[in-house]
């Protein structure tokens, strides 16, 4: 069983960011997940454009940029010009009047288009966008803070998306409160990847390489 593991970089040690990137890369992380928050769409600030630019220049691994910002179309160019082909950019459909326009800008720049679905957003409201995107990031917590509790009703949403993904040609990724039991339950069902934060990856005694290997082998 193959699935991707992504590092939630807002949980990294910013006093030693270069070492964190290097150690995660050596440990076999699939990609670096970058949370950009504007303090408006979500009541918090997280990583900056400069953080994203630094990590993009420090690794050959892909970046997954999660834009938790109001009206991303007004500033999408700032992010796209500092990313590489085949990096992923996720937007929240609720944050944009015309999200398909923003998604098209991502496609035109050679990036992978994605949407992030909040716990309170139904599959039905984003159905047409599922035909445009290649990745769907399912939020199992409300966006804006690390270390939140899993919202159980999100599981039913993932089951709906799994039934649609083959026909509409997208992959499903899990973000928020990603624990061992969630990977063991949803990876076999077809969830393609999991964003790892403090629950499984950061702040552990074992090295990133050992931790990631244990997760891949479902040894918890």
Judge whether 200 and 178 are in contact, CB under 8 Å. Answer: yes
Q: Which of 51, 64, 87, 175 is catalytic?
A: 175
| Cα separation, 220 vs 180, whole angstroms | 7
| Cα separation, 179 vs 194, whole angstroms | 10
Q: Which of 35, 51, 64, 87 is catalytic?
A: 35
CA 26 to chain centre: 20
Question: Residue 27: what are its φ and ψ, rounded to 5°?
Answer: -75, -10
What does the block give as tokens for 111?
């990036």
Dihedral (CA of 48, 180, 172, 210) sign: positive
Tell me if residue 35 is catalytic.
yes
| Cα separation, 39 vs 44, whole angstroms | 5
Tell me if residue 175 is catalytic.
yes
Bridge partners, residue 6, by sequence? 31, 195
Beta strands 171-175 and 135-139: pairing type?
parallel
Catalytic sites, residue numbers:
35, 175
């Amino acid at each position: 069983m193959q699935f991707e593991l992504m590092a939630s970089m807002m949980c990294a040690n910013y006093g030693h960011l270069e070492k964190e990137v290097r150690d995660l890369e050596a440990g076999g992380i699939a990609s670096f997940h970058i949370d950009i928050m504007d303090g408006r769409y979500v009541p918090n600030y997280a990583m900056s454009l400069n953080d994203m630019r630094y990590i993009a220049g420090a690794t050959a691994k892909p970046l997954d940029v999660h834009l938790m910002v109001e009206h991303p179309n007004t500033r999408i160019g700032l992010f796209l010009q500092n990313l590489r082909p085949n990096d992923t950019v996720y937007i929240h459909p609720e944050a944009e009047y015309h999200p398909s326009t923003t998604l098209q800008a991502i496609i035109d720049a050679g990036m992978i288009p994605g949407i992030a679905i909040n716990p309170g957003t139904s599959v039905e409201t984003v159905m047409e966008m599922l035909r445009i995107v290649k990745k769907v990031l399912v939020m199992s917590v409300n966006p804006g803070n690390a270390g939140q509790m899993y919202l159980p009703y999100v599981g039913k949403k993932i089951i709906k998306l799994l039934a649609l993904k083959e026909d509409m040609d997208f992959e499903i990724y899990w973000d928020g409160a990603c624990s061992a039991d969630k990977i063991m339950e949803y990876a076999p069902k077809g969830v393609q990847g999991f964003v790892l934060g403090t629950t499984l990856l950061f702040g552990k005694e074992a090295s990133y390489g050992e931790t990631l290997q244990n997760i891949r082998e479902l040894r918890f």
